[in-house]
Structure 1
Amino acid sequence: MAHKMLRVTEADGWERSDFPITCDCCLGDNPYVRMTKANFEKECKICIRPFTVFCWRSGRDARYEKTEVCQTYSKLKNVCQVCLLDLEYGLPVQVRDTALGINTSESIPKSDVNMDVNDPVAAKLLRKAGEMPSLAPPEDMSIKTLYVGGLIDRVTEEDLKVQSYSYGEIESIRMVRQRACAFVTYTTREGAEEAADHLANKLVINGLRLKLMWQRPQIAKAEMEAAGGKNEEGTSTSAFGILSHGGMLPRALIPQQHLHPGQEQTANYFNLPPPS
């Protein structure tokens, strides 16, 4: 009956296939999948074209999966026939095209096959992406270093270089494995700002999402001591490099070389009277 239908003028463009185009999630982990196949059973929900419908069960406790769009639309958009998510990134079509800057109205001819699905999930993701805060550059124009946090062992210096060099010439990349971070310094401020604009909230390396921030300049320890500042613990530093606690530290615990001339070290720091 099918070969007779294909000879009908109205059947031009109907689609017949031997296996569906699906993602790994919809197909399931079982390598032996039993499917039912029905030629021209339904119309494509996008282009209203009759196509071959496949139905299977992705797991023992999973529900039955069924193809919803034809393979022409699936190949044109590179999406799964079941969930309509991108086969490479696993994202809705609108989110993928917006992130990659793809204008389907210019790159693909306009037709019924090129219609987009009104996906509320994609609209929600795009709205959240628009609400994400941007990375504002610091006022100090001498800052040209970006802080990258959340590193693990599988992220190498070469991976950071590949992600960063396209925005400007890199002066240095310093990896700090103990703190799981890195510092990428550009030769120009313009390169650092362009990298911050493009990579903020979107820096993903080897499937790992990393944190990107501007690095603030650090005051040298010598300058802090010369200015009479305080260290990271909030205590002042003395000229001998030891902590001065306002006289609360027992004198017996202070080394002899740190005492002033003429002072002698004594263990009587509880103000007890000397023995008779």
Structure 2
Amino acid sequence: MPPKADINKAGWEQSDFPILCETCLGDNAFIRMSKQEFARECGTCARPFTVFRWNPGQSSGSRFKQTVICQTCAKIKNVCQTCILDLEYHLPTQVRDTALALKNEAPNSDINREYYSQNMDGKLDGAKSGLDTGRASSAGKEMLKELARSDPYYKRNRPKICSFFVKGECNRGTECPFRHEMPPNGDLAKQNIKDRYHGKSDPVARRILSGHAETHGMQPPEDTSITSLFITLLPASTTEQSLRTTVVQSIPSIDPAAIRSIVHVAKTRCAFVNFVDRMSAERAAEAWALGLDVEGQRASVKWGRAKAAKAPSTSAAPGPGSTAPVAAASA
């Protein structure tokens, strides 16, 4: 009679091979991997999973690497189990999801995440990925083609920075297996697994998206009061309601409540999209750097302009309760 299954291991993941990108696998054609079942918790869903450990290229001084998330979470987002970058484009998930207008459906609670992963484990049995990119716009796909990395980036496999060198206390010199250099400062030094996986507040993604937007003339204006984007070359059949639907679907990472108003001018086939805050407007500008697909036609997007302050009237002096005009963002 076979032994009873351990109820304490329900939902735990066992696997024979890891899901890795070419960079993490390394340039060594002969790799020896160690495998340990239930060695650690997944960095996103907290379920125990099978951990693989290997050296991607010992001859080039690479460090030992290991898988940090389970295969179910990797399939849900189509990412590498080690670097958590997209397997097809080799980009952060936040960049890919912004370009393809993909919505993050994973729950925030640790308990709900574990339950969600267990349910997805059965649905993704045998599947390579859980992403549905069939509805992606042509502008989003074009954006990913520009940003995608075609060659492996083996620099990510370098040894980590020596903490004793940072303190000025390392006495091993050239024999030290770690890098002797100062760590980077700023936002890039504040990275964590969950933000990278779920595509929220990822500093690497922010730098890539902002740089891409700046390259295509969508750099945010210095006037922080401008929170509007101007859309031109809209199809003649576009209505305000259809435009609102397209706008909301193209930026699922932004709360629809962040869109203050949409002013559609059918006669000139243009529209203003006004946002509640500057951050939401910048996220939309990054997503629309190559334009916005509306009813199968590419519309052009630019930043709005602040309204010029009206000159005070010289015919009559202002009354005691009057106020000076203030510049406002475009309608």
Q: TM-score range by the shorter chain?
A: 0.3 to 0.5
Calculate the TM-score normalised by the size of structure 2: 0.37
Which is bigger in relative contact order (C-alpha 8 A, separation at least 6)? 2
Larger Rg: 1
